[in-house]
Amino acid sequence: MSTPIVNRLNVPMPKIGIRPTVDGRRGGIRESLEDITMNMAHAVAKLLSENIRHSNGLPVECVIADSCIGGVAEAAQTAEKFAREGVGVSITVTPSWCYPLETMDTDPLIPKAIWGFNGTDRPGAVYLAAVLAAHNQKGLPAFGIYGKDVQDFGDDSIPADVQEKLIRFAKAGLAVATIRGKAYLSLGSVSMGIAGCIADESFFHEYLGMRNEYVDMTEFVRRMERGIYDKEEYEKALRWVKEHCREGEDVNPDHLKRTREQKDRDWETVVKMTLIARDLMVGNPKLAEMGYGEEALGHHAIAAGFQGQRQWTDHYPNGDFMEAILTSSFDWNGIREPYIMSTENDALNAVTMLLGHLLTDAAQIFADVRTYWSPEAVKRVTGKELEGMAAGGIIHLINSGPAALDGTGQQTKDGAPAMKPFWEITGEEVEKCLQVTKWCPAVDFFRGGGFSTDFQTKGGMPVTMARINLVKGLGPVLQLAEGYTVDIPQDVHDILDQRTNQTWPTTWFVPNLTGEGVFKDVYSVMNNWGSNHCALSYGHIGADLITLASMLRIPVSMHNVPAEKCFRPSAWSAFGTADAEGADFRACAAYGPLYAGGRGR
């Protein structure tokens, strides 16, 4: 049930550039350092190539400078090579002193880090401090990597703490480089007055380097009525749906229940919607063969959102099937990279999902941050007490059914429930995800019919809940909460679920509490969440999100990541060390959006 690894947007993936810098003085000094420095570069390239993939499964390529960089001429030659090779991330390595202004990377748009070897024979750490100061003075933020323990000169191993920072920086930097130049596709407009649906041009262009594309939802009607989709794939998809997608309970009152004939037509419609939405995002060469050359190109969209409510769903079947299948790691064509498709065209949640996907390579759960259930409220309503990780209260993450089927938790890693990169998923795991998912006829306020996914996320998964919000006068801010999915007794779940909508997928979430501030209790996390939606990523990736946000100059307003895990550019400490959160806001404001020429707001 596998499909080949492909680059579906048909543009080269960004590469990582490795810059070995060296003391340029000839006559014995440079010569004694050349091999050692180049060995460092190759060791870093090997580490990153073996531990990181692009989210589409393709291997990450590292480009090493043709020679060590001892001065400005070699720095310029390396910059030209990197531009020619499509480098999107820069890592400088050295075991020794070098001339900072002559050897530094001055490209303002490429995320950059410097690893200065912690050794006593040649002062790599002195160069690191000096070149970071140069970067800071020039307004070119760079990440400093300095190992905790002194190494022997010529030791080409990479200490564990340095490895962690190199991988964290590289993965976040690749995410920045990957989204640059891509598009967000709005399928429709603002859904039910939700401000997050406004695809803010300034945010997408200045902070992310992305385009905005817009398509009215009537394009779905045009393509369905005129047959602008792959007919053979449609028949294949419909057969797959009939075999693998089990219908669930219809909870509508009798006078609103749709007939079997209507439901069968709904299935046909939602399958066509799925094909059309995908084609709108990334194109489809099959359409060119049918005479639709323009439609075959797509909109170069790395993420999209579907408005749906209400103009569409008052008349046509809802988009839940389309959103759930596209954002899952599999469909009728096999196992493949998830698409990023946001419900209700919540563009800000789509961006958060996109960042989570690029960091984890796995599918994302789209959800409402619906309800905080206190232990007292649960006891009053169900007569039962919450226990274990849920004892302090739980947050009900639930939406109308667009969550990726990976969110069932039926995939496993080391014997525990997980959401994995598609290349690690087995056909058996796909079947398990499908078996525990029911497709329930849409509830009454979806007047045009359709189907919603109904499942319960398995407890025990480490996850990170995140959201980007736009605030007038401040700009974008990121908030996140690391925690776990939890299981609660089935009878308790049934009572709580039926008070909302039992035909929708549920994830019970408990954040990791620190005992301080917003994370003093579960209620405070819910009470301080900045919007009605969130994206849920597998794993505790808060530190990775913080690193990525700093590259984009997006401050983090709320997180529960240990201080020692937070990795930001060196310049951030100049904005204050006693209050890292405040320093983050001040640094982001001072530097301004990444793609706005470095201007402050």
Residues forming the active site: 344, 368
Distance separating alpha carbons of residues 297 and 288, to the nearest angstrom: 8
Question: What is the C-alpha separation between 132 and 100, in angstroms, rounded?
Answer: 8
Residue spans of beta strands (DSSP E) within 411-474: 411-413, 416-418, 438-441, 451-454, 462-471
Task: Indicate the Cα dihedral angle 140, 464, 327, 549, nearest 10°.
Answer: -10
533 is in an annotated binding site: yes
Question: Where does residue 415 rank: exposed (0-12), middle (13-18), buried (19+ CB within 10 A)?
Answer: exposed
Q: Which residues, at least 6 apart from 388, have a Cβ–Cβ distance to it below 8 Å?
A: 486
- Residue 497 one-letter amino acid: D
Residue 135, marked binder: no
| Rounded CA separation 210/542 (Å) | 23
Report the C-alpha gap between 8 and 339 in whole angstroms.
Answer: 10
Q: DSSP letter for 21, please.
A: B
Three-state SS string over 371-401 comes to EEECHHHHHHHHCCCCCHHHCCCEEEEECCC
Q: Please list the residues that pair with 407 across neighbouring strands.
A: none
Residue 497 structure tokens: 């679920």
Q: In angstroms, rounded to a whole number, what is the distance separating the alpha carbons of residues 420 and 422?
A: 6
Q: Cβ distance 500 to 370 under 8 Å?
A: yes
Which backbone phi and psi does 448 adopt, to 5 degrees? -90, 5
Instruction: Tell me how crowded residue 533 is: count the other CB atoms within 10 A of its CB.
Output: 24
> E strands of 125-210, at which residues?
143-145, 183-187
Q: Report d(CA 500, CA 272) in Å as an integer.
A: 29
In order, the DSSP letters of 149-165 are S---TT-----HHHHHH
Name the residue among 213, 503, 513 with its Cα closest to residue 345: 213
Beta-ladder partners of 365: 536
> What is the rounded distance in angstroms from the CA atom of residue 299 to the CA atom of residue 9?
9
Question: Would you call 251 exposed, middle or buried from its count of C-beta atoms within 10 A (0-12, 13-18, 19+)?
Answer: middle
- How far apart are alpha carbons 316 and 306 in whole angstroms? 13
Tokens for 339? Answer: 């698409």
Kind of pairing between the strands at 341-343 and 506-511? unpaired
Question: What is the H or E stretch that residue 474 is in?
Answer: none
Is 344 one of the annotated binding-site residues?
yes
For residue 521, report the phi and psi dihedrals to the nearest 5 degrees: -155, 170
Closest to 318 (Cα-Cα) out of 460, 179, 446: 446
Handedness of CA 256, 259, 262, 266 (dihedral sign): positive
Binding-site residue ranges: 344, 368, 533
Residues annotated as binding site for Mn(2+)? 344, 368, 533
